[in-house]
Amino acid sequence: IDNAPSCETVPAAAEELGHKVLEVTKIDETTWKIIIRKS
């Protein structure tokens, strides 16, 4: 993801839908990696 607000809203939305957020990692100043396990 290359949008700072999305690194918070995407995991929150996934959890609300019952999915498990396994990892949120900042790769550099503008890029984050989010790993979600779909339930």
Q: pLDDT digits over 1-39, tens only?
A: 888 899 899 999 999 999 999 999 999 988 999 999 999
In this prediction, residue 33 carries a pLDDT of 94
Whether the model pTM is above 0.75: yes
The residue type found at 15 is E
Residue showing tokens 């990696």: 33
How do the domains of the chain map onto residue ranges?
Answer: 6-37
CB 23 within 8 A of CB 34: yes
Q: Which residues pair with 33 in a beta bridge?
A: 25
Residues ≥6 apart with Cβ < 8 Å to 25? 32, 33, 34
The residue type found at 19 is H
**What are the two backbone dihedrals, phi and then psi, of residue 25, each rounded to the nearest 5 degrees?**
-125, 130
